[in-house]
Amino acid sequence: MTLQLFAHPFSSYCRKALIALHENATPFVFRMLDPEHPENDAEWSARWPLRKMPILVDGEKTIVEVSTIIEYLQIHHPGPVHLIPEDALEARMLDRIFDNYVMTPMQQVVGNALRPEDAKDPYGVGQSMQMLDKVYAWLEARLQGRKWAAGDAFTIADCAAAPSLFYADWVRPIPDGMSALKSYRARLLARPSVSRAVEEARPFRRFFPLGAPDRD
Ligand SMILES: N[C@@H](CCC(=O)N[C@@H](CS)C(=O)NCC(=O)O)C(=O)O
């Protein structure tokens, strides 16, 4: 049974899953979640009432939460790239850090831009910006001398880092002085699985609510 990913290419968590699939050239059917495909929307809602994307469907099984999707792929549809390395603690820890402290504040700032004028949350945006500043500084120190987040091998942590840092840098540019973090982001963008996912999403850039910068 062919795997199915219910997703939208411009979504940051969907990109994390796409990078994992592209890394191992795993065959799958892309089930687009947009107004032109109401049948996909209906199946997504039935399978995951929380309506968070993406979800992976493998026959009768529905797998939600991208980190778990990546674990599932490695167990049930493995390829040459082991995104969960044998000694996976550091990769798993960094995966959590990118999701919780880069992706979440970045999404809060983007989400605020989509709120009605009378429901904006400037205090929350300020807190998210502070979180991004703190995590950038931590990552800058952590990434010294490293090729990928958890060492020499590309792992689940890099799948999380690529979309979170991609959009976070649009929302809160990484300071020029943070050369390790800036060059790590550039290295991620040059990785074929990542650049493929970025290109797949390029047609949707005009929908970025804060105005997509003319780069990347
Ligand atoms: N923790 C979830 C997060 C998924 C998530 O928040 N996806 C976003 C798109 S990037 C979404 O579905 N947003 C729609 C909404 O919150 O209504 C995961 O790792 O899969």
Which pLDDT tens digits describe the chain residue by residue (216 residues)? 799 999 999 999 999 999 999 999 999 999 999 999 999 999 999 999 999 999 999 999 999 999 999 999 999 999 999 999 999 999 999 999 999 999 999 999 999 999 999 999 999 999 999 999 999 999 999 999 999 999 999 999 999 999 999 999 999 999 999 999 999 999 999 999 999 999 999 999 999 999 999 999
The closest alpha carbon to 62, from 44, 79, 74, belongs to: 44
Q: What is the pLDDT of residue 25?
A: 98
Rounded to whole angstroms, the Cα distance separating 22 from 15 reads 10
* Distance (Å) from CA 101 to ligand 1 centroid: 15
Let me know: does 195 contact 152? Beta carbons within 8 Å: no
Instruction: Say yes or no: 69 and 120 in one domain.
Output: no
* Distance (Å) from CA 53 to ligand 1 centroid: 5
Domain limits for position 56 = 3-76
Closest Cα to atom 16 of ligand 1: 52
Let me know: does 11 contact 207? Beta carbons within 8 Å: no
Q: Is 104 in the pocket of ligand 1 (CB under 6 A)?
A: no
The reply to whether 213 falls in a domain is: no
Instruction: Say yes or no: 123 and 186 in one domain.
Output: yes
Instruction: Say yes or no: 60 and 136 in one domain.
Output: no
Sheet strands (E) in the chain? 3-7, 28-32, 55-58, 61-64
The reply to whether 183 falls in a domain is: yes
Q: What is the pLDDT of residue 116?
A: 97
Last residue of a domain, one of 15, 44, 76: 76
Q: What is the pLDDT of residue 112?
A: 98
Instruction: Say yes or no: 200 and 101 in one domain.
Output: yes
Q: What is the pLDDT of residue 1?
A: 78
Q: What is the pLDDT of residue 178?
A: 98
In the chain, the number of structural domains is: 2
Instruction: Say yes or no: 69 and 113 in one domain.
Output: no
Q: What is the pLDDT of residue 185?
A: 98
Residue with tokens 């799958």: 28
* Distance (Å) from CA 108 to ligand 1 centroid: 12
The reply to whether 84 falls in a domain is: no
Instruction: Say yes or no: 181 and 106 in one domain.
Output: yes
